[in-house]
Structure 1
């Protein structure tokens, strides 16, 4: 399956290599398409920005025109007592009359409205004077929404891009704020629809409607010209690259051949190196615990660690010396290897750490290098399995090997010593006592110390041996571990 996959990848790679020019043409076309699409979106943004800027300018011009008309014309006329001039909305019906500022602004808006360009300028309010009732109020949904929005946000414009009179347009509105000079006039006028105006109220809306089709047409012309230029540049670029590719193809074939040869050599070397590395890793794991081996590979030169409580087991083949005198050396080593291999299997089964073998003695520990709470239970299980394993071994090989086991629980120091043939070893009084439990025990029995007994008495069956003399300790009480309890009870306090 892997070979089929690799063959498919190589075939695809060769096809893509041979079709480089075609791929480049496709990529250039895609690039041009993306560029045109991006320019189209950019053009749309520019069109909208220009329309907004123009509408804002219209609105500002209207406001400035009315302000100038009010301050420079109406105020001067009203303050000059020698002039008999009437300021009214129907100024055309009265000789010597001039229009109100609002009327002036409406007339100016009509003059600014362009039928050809479609620009519409309007001034409307929800409180129009009676003579402007028909055209002075909001006429559609947009104008009503503009009034509602600008009353809440008078300092912000309200605009929308929508279809207006059949043309895509910008509708732009700004609030017409009541100024101090206009409050009195509006509140006192006999036909006013609202007589409680205050400074800052929104009295109406300036709206400028600006069609976008003129901007769009101009932009499309420029966009087509730019697209044609990009297409021409793309063709020139692809042609040039295709010429270069054809000239480099022969060199590429030679390089590919050399690369394949070199890759095969490197692959063979890497496989040999990986195999050697794997053998080294396995050898290291056979000597040291995995966690300790990992620390050594990380560069830790000194490895030492204290453990507050672990359980140590020593097992010794009692009559192996006499057996050694009776059997040939090769057979003796085979027997010892087979038996200790079975011990190793039990060590792995109970997730314990084999420390070392010394002649015909086997040492194992639980609770290190990774601490665990059930270290004593795991060691006890292995001890019982060791007795059973020796019995099965004797039956299978017709031997009479006997074993003696000692167990102790306590604190130890563990670490790696030596530069050549280094080992992971344990030190401490707990180790010595475990060894004494084995050496002063009896054949076919498991002798445990007081500390191990206290850890296991609720789960296993023990028989008190009584006081035994231990070198360096004097007389201590020890116990025989004889089996497992069928129903574990809580340990007595």
Structure 2
């Protein structure tokens, strides 16, 4: 009877063992099939994402080069009437191109050195001498102009065959800046003479082949798939051996499982603690929403914001103080000041960007847009002066602070792969920095754009027109305090 029961148990065990192996094999095959289908879609997404990133960086670099050339070369020389600029640029002659011609020549040189990359600038209103080269050539360019004229801040791109090869075509609007409007409206050959700042003058297009990106992406995904398949086979094999071992040593393994379970629980508790520490460290250097994107695997993070308010602050007199005290005391003082500033940043819902030496940068209106970013920055600036006054009384010091504020559009994103940082770019950021560097010790200098938002809520002194490096003459104001009516409200 016992032998019969043992045989029945052995038969049942053998049946369960075979069924488990069959189920594992089926699951493995299904998993491989799902992975292959997903990797195909992932490959297409990665290819387009990489191509879009490359094209965006190309376009940004080209337009930044043109902006720098126009603001730092053309405008000063034109103002001084030191040299004449011409569209009829010839490198064999002593001529200097206008910004648009400079951009075209830059694109041509990029194309010459990278034959597979095409850089074009075209428009519905090309100058007479550029009708053939600067006009629309195909359906993509026509659609790009139509779309970007209505949506100048957007991007237009798609994958299609270009010169009989798979390619990624990317286009964005070339928007007129103040330095360009006068030139286009006064040029006798201009096809249109009522241009305004912000109008779409033309389209900057960058076309790049997808062969190399496709090859590299698929190669990496193939390697990943093979690695996944190998690990799956090893997993199935290991599971099979484990099941066989479990059949022979059920009681011993049960005890081991209980012991290991207890150990794993302890390990999981430690892992949770370590994860919490990592999360806290990450949130110390990145906004919560940006940190969440990084944790979800998003590698390229860049967002544009139509309006934010940026504050730059620099401690005046700290260099003199640093020569009078030890490095340890200097660090303690700086930490005390910046810790107070950090508390203000949190109080007003702002985002600290970075500190460089004794300089402090904070912004309002991102990563989560808000409507009262300018007011919050103004409140923080006034409180920063109060915190520094308390510090001087406490330590019998005589240091001061210089603050600059500007409101405008900006781009924010994460750069780096190891010691990464959340940073800002854009003309509004540069202008805010200029407000600080050209400011007055003990004062808060703001631009016209910030003043327009805050003029009915705060007290201001009109500083008048001052010369700003890289910007020319600007009308600036000094934030002096809060209006009593605004405080009562």
Report TM bin, short chain: 0.3 to 0.5
TM-score, normalised by the number of residues in structure 2: 0.47
Larger Rg: 1
